[in-house]
Structure formats: structure tokens, C-alpha cells
Amino acid sequence: MEITRLEPGVKKGLVVVITGNGKGKTTTALGMVIRACGHNMSACILQFMKGDIYAGEWDGLRKLNRRVELISTGKGFCGIQGNPYPFKEHRQNAQDAVKLALQKIEEGLWDILILDEINNALSLNLVDLEQVLDIIHKKAADMHLVLTGRDAHPQVIELADTVSEIIEVKHAYQKDIEPQPGIDY
């Protein structure tokens, strides 16, 4: 059986928002990276809030042996899970991540830019709405931009081409089951 590869008549970089309270927003974005690798596309992932606890994607993406860059800029989730860092440090890290996102856009080297947990960062006032809107407006016409995290702002949703909401139906933590490697991180 021969497999047909389709190409769009007009290539357009999409803005994709993955939000909601359910588990799987980052995992969905990472699935897009794997799919993009199959098309020989490059991807850059900036994690706005992760960085204090090891996550399997850090080494997993390296093993793909593709043009994928993952930069974890955060100090964990601000104000939860006993995170010891003050708001000021979280905000500074998120501000640095915004600058890095703009730099990655300006470089023009990436087919996909994923801003992991940027919706949370916006909701927690670690970044400002104007900064997120600026990132969206400055992306190249053919670059895909993926914004993940809970509580996506209505203006971000309005600008997006595709929005998916992950709904939590049931989660193991409700049974006091600890987060599991390979599934939760």
C-alpha cells in the first residue's frame, strides 16, 4: 500500500491553544512535535513554569535525534506543591521566557514554537496579556505557535485558529495516587 503525503495549497502558520483543567495539555503539544518531526519540521519548546522537577520529555526529546529544542525556564508551579520560590523570582523567569520566545521568533529557525504553560503564567500575572498578544502578532506567517496551560485568556482564544479544551473527568490524584513517571511527568 502506498502512502500519500498531502501538502496544503497555502501554507499557514496556526495559533493553537490547548487549555482546560484536564491532564494532557503539554502531552498534546509534545505529540504535535512528534508529528512535526515526521514531516522534517523543527520545533522549539519553552516551558514557562516547569523546571524544578525532572520531566521525562527533557531526555525523551533528545532521543528523537531531530531538530527539537526544549528550554525549561521556570522554577516550578508558582504557589503550589510546596514551591519555595517567591513570586518575584517566578515573574522574572517568565519575563525572561517572553524575551526568549520573541528571540526564537526573530531567529526564524523554527517551524513550531510551543509556549508550554504560558496560559498559567498569564493567569498568575507572571506575564502580561500585552506580552502574549505581542508574541502572537510577531510570529512569522508560516510558523505554528502553540500555547498551553489552564485558564487561557479570552483574547488569546479569540486570536487562535484552533482551541482545544482538555476536560478532567477523573484523575489518579483524587485517589491519593502520587504522580507517576512517564505519565504525569
The domain tally of the chain equals 1
36-45, 74-83, 142-151: segment of lowest average pLDDT: 74-83
The answer to the question of residue 160 being in a domain is yes
Question: For residues 113 and 49, what is the distance between their CA atoms, to the nearest angstrom?
Answer: 16
Terminal-to-terminal C-alpha distance of the chain: 38
Rounded to a whole number, what is the largest CA-CA distance in the chain? Answer: 58
48-57, 128-137, 145-154, 162-171: segment of lowest average pLDDT: 48-57
The answer to the question of residue 108 being in a domain is yes
29 burial class (0-12, 13-18, 19+ CB within 10 angstroms)? buried
Q: Among candidates 139, 137, 142, which has minimal Cα distance to 36?
A: 142
The answer to the question of residue 176 being in a domain is no
Q: Is the pLDDT of residue 71 over 80?
A: yes
Q: Is the pLDDT of residue 109 over 80?
A: yes
The answer to the question of residue 143 being in a domain is yes
- Identify which has the larger pLDDT, 80 or 179: 179
For the residues 41-60, what does the mean pLDDT come to? 83
Mean confidence (pLDDT) of the chain? 90
The answer to the question of residue 182 being in a domain is no
For the residues 155-160, what does the mean pLDDT come to? 98
Question: Which DSSP string corresponds to 99-124?
Answer: HHHHHHHHHT--SEEEEETHHHHHHT
Question: Which DSSP string corresponds to 124-183?
Answer: TTSS-HHHHHHHHHHS-TT-EEEEESSS--HHHHHH-SEEEE---S--GGGGTPPP-TTT
Q: How confident is the model at residue 64 (pLDDT cuts 50, 70, 90)?
A: confident
The pLDDT of residue 62 is 79
Other CB atoms within 10 Å distance of the CB of residue 101? 27
Q: Which domain holds residue 119?
A: 15-167
Q: Is the pLDDT of residue 63 over 90?
A: no
The answer to the question of residue 6 being in a domain is no
Residue 92 belongs to domain with CATH number: 3.40.50.300
The answer to the question of residue 179 being in a domain is no
- Identify which has the larger pLDDT, 73 or 159: 159
The answer to the question of residue 173 being in a domain is no
Strand order in the sheet with 112-116: 68-72, 43-47, 112-116, 144-148, 15-19, 162-165
**What global pTM score does this model have?**
0.89
